[in-house]
A and B are shown apart, each in its own frame.
Chain A
Amino acid sequence: MSSTLSKVSKKVRKDEDTSKGLDNLEEQLKNGELHGGRGAKKLPGTKTVFYMRSGGEARLFFRYSDKEYSDKEKGAIEVIGESDKDNETRVIKNLKKNYE
């Protein structure tokens, strides 16, 4: 996670409800349950970035690993951002700038 996005993640996790929501989404993502919460969406303007949304504030951004990774890791999922709704557009702008 980039330095800017790490700071956003730290800030939004100060809210207990958001933090719990992010933990739940991460668990669901790990188990391949992409329909968890309000479901996953592809980030417009990118090919590999998606985000999951809790019923509350939590927004979890992730991507599927690409060819830069070894064959073993190919297809693995990497969490690249955590947000709440207040910071959602800011995080999306940042991710669009840094990921295809």
Chain B
Amino acid sequence: MKIESITFLSDLKDVKDIFDDNVDVAVKLDDGHEYIVVVATQKNLLTLMNNEKSDFLSPGDPMIIVRKLTKEVVEDAIQVYAENNGYYLKFYAAHFDIKTLNVLKDRKVARSKLLDELLEKGESIDIENYDLIDFNIKNL
């Protein structure tokens, strides 16, 4: 998917250690939507755990992990995450309320069930044009 713009939501000049920090980045794709992703370094994961005084990172949105926080590295990473219709960029930037998340899971299960039924009947499994409402999620 084509990236229209990449905007750092804080100044990289303010980053004291490019090997240990994270930044919010706004990515605008040619679908007209803007996606906010957090880009962090590997070392920063340990710092965040230390800050939390915990042996694990508390639950949160996924972050794109880079070796160092420079404009070039972050932009290169985002370009790769925007490939394949922007799947991983959209996935990493996604946030759903629990009801929406449950509907998405139901849709995936219903889609899988429909594929099983069509394969069982020996029919075409070309169902990619089905909309969300075409899947019956009531009897899962």
Report B-chain residues with C-beta under 8 Å of the C-beta of A84. 95
User: In the complex, how many angstroms separate the beta carbon of B14 from the nearest chain A beta carbon?
Assistant: 6
* Contact for A88 among B11, B23, B36, B51, CB less than 8 A: B36
Q: Are B97 and A15 in contact (CB under 8 A)?
A: yes
User: In the complex, how many angstroms separate the beta carbon of A49 from the nearest chain B beta carbon?
Assistant: 11
B interface bracket (residues with beta carbon within 8 Å of A): 20 to 34
- In the complex, the chain B residue whose C-beta lies closest to that of A44 is B11
B binding-site residues for A, Cβ under 8 Å: 7-11, 14, 21-24, 26, 34, 36, 38, 40, 48, 51, 57-61, 93, 95, 97
* Pairs A–B under 8 Å by Cβ, sample size 27: A16-B97, A17-B97, A35-B51, A36-B51, A38-B40, A39-B21, A39-B22, A41-B9, A41-B10, A41-B14, A42-B11, A42-B14, A44-B9, A53-B24, A55-B57, A56-B59, A56-B60, A56-B61, A56-B95, A57-B61, A57-B95, A84-B95, A85-B24, A85-B93, A88-B36, A89-B7, A89-B26
